[in-house]
Amino acid sequence: MGVPQPASADPLGITLVHLRSSTVELSVVCPTDPPTNVLVYAGASQPRSVGVLPIDCVGGGVPQTVVVPLTETFAVGSTVDLSATVSGDSGEINAWFPGTVVEADTSVLHAPGRPSHVHVHARVRRVAVTWRNPVADPSAPVEGFRVWMCGHRVEVSAHTHRVVIRGLLPSRRYTVHVAAHNDAGRSPVASTIFRTHRA
């Protein structure tokens, strides 16, 4: 007869929480064991090792979250046949997660991408500048835009895609720059050259 478990104890097992490009997050319920390894494999017909993490199982039917760093980088949006094994002195627990979609890592904030489709509508002493958002990336949200040229600088919200800059000289060549930004930094700059109209 085995050792009785508390009524609220979870059964032994491995649950996939998140697969990201460079980590896999698992919820593991394993028996109390000395140091144990969590092994992660990718591939269906010929699985290859893509991650190992030593852990101490807490036992008692208590789930514990583990984040295993991967030795390969998976493309966000791709599909991976994943399996995981918890291997210790008391045996193995195995789980299979076929067709798992790789998620973007939203816990790591990145600077946004370059704004696109920058256009200018020049007049004699002013210019209207328009642009579009960078390619959408959940890990690189746009918090605002900066538009600048020759001593003029304008900052606008992420929902604004048009600014008018006044006080320019007629028949003058200018370069205008647009960049997106967030707390992680500034995007690459999108620039375009234009000439104001004659007076």
Question: What is the average pLDDT score of the chain?
Answer: 88
Torsion of CA 195, 188, 163, 121, to 10 degrees: 30
Q: Count of alpha carbons within 13 Å of 187, Cβ hemisphere only?
A: 27
d(CA 52, CA 23): 11
Q: Count of alpha carbons within 13 Å of 68, Cβ hemisphere only?
A: 31
Q: How confident is residue 1, by pLDDT bands cut at 50, 70 and 90?
A: very low
Taking residues 130-142, report their average pLDDT: 87
Q: Is the pLDDT of residue 5 over 80?
A: no
Lowest mean pLDDT of 78-82, 135-139, 175-179, name the range: 135-139
Q: How confident is residue 6, by pLDDT bands cut at 50, 70 and 90?
A: very low
pTM for the full model? 0.52
Torsion of CA 22, 27, 31, 36, to 10 degrees: 10
Q: Is the pLDDT of residue 107 over 90?
A: no
Tell me the H-state helices in the chain: none
| Furthest C-alpha separation in the chain | 97
